[in-house]
Chain A
């Protein structure tokens, strides 16, 4: 891989998704993009990047960006933050009864573990009579496809998922574990770039976007955060990763990474 290859990757990621990629991190780039080069039939990663530069092939360019976007995830990651935010928003919604449907969005859902964790908690905890619209999105079509399938390896279901929830919410299929159909049917999926206008998606009472904006360039992060805040209901809640700043908004007391659309108001 040449320095020019690194710069190509960094520039593509910055322009299209606002992602901060260090052009000098050859190992990371080769690790993420090597499989893309093989999948697309190129002899090497430099061949793939040369083709991206020469052809102006949009599909290839996006394949590079998608593969470089954050993908690390697990079931029930930061469980205290997930539990608390969900419990507060559900209780608040049930008390106020504004509208008929509680709307939740898991942005940058990766391979789906976070949205299914949310679905499990909703099934276990949501008061009877509350209808939930659960939306999940990611920048990567390949990750969305994996997430939608609900199929996980033995290794994946042992990261963050308690055994009691595994037996309650999954079925075994050959050597894999599949999320129960009733949970898969709860989720609406779509490809979303956080830098685009998100208003057609909203409004949402609760938005999870954890460990994504911290991987963005400053200007892109501000844009993504502004877009995310615009889709919140007036008392909606945005949950970022632990310690991820939300621009000029202050996090909820004792809840790092959890932000209210209107500061100073707390859920019941």
Chain B
């Protein structure tokens, strides 16, 4: 079973994402901020990371930058999932190594489609 780490400071978003991802067959873990997410990755690198941009402490972009420098950190498919919807933000995320980008609000079809595009399904 593939694993997906949902990184978002909103408990509601994590819950919604968990339900969608479990329906898609993922084993889901959750992190409420960037530090939590990196600690989780240091223990067990997930197959996929669904990553918020704006979080307390560390932005999603910084999480991604640090993740890609870690041993094995280039392997997870990273899909941003954020309210940031400017094209320059999306370009920036892709340049940092994101595989796909979801603009909130989202539904199950969007998540499934984006994971497929990211090669994560």
Contact = CB atoms under 8 A, between A and B. Distances in A.
A24 interface: no
Given A162-B100, A163-B100, A154 B85 contact: yes
Interface residues of B, number: 18
A166 B87 contact: yes
Given A167-B87, A171-B87, A158 B94 contact: no
Contacts of A97: none
B103 A159 contact: no
Interface string A142-168: 000000000000110011101110110
A159 B90 contact: no
The secondary-structure label for the interface of chain A is mixed
Contacts of B87: 166-167, 170-172
B38 interface: no
Interface residues of A, number: 14
A154 B107 CA distance: 12
Contacts of A166: 87, 90, 101
B68 interface: no
From B91, B100, B113, residue with most partner A Cβ within 10 Å: B113
A162 B102 CA distance: 10
Interface of B: 85-87, 90-91, 93-94, 98, 100-103, 106, 109-110, 113-114, 117
Interface of A: 154-155, 158-160, 162-164, 166-167, 170-172, 175
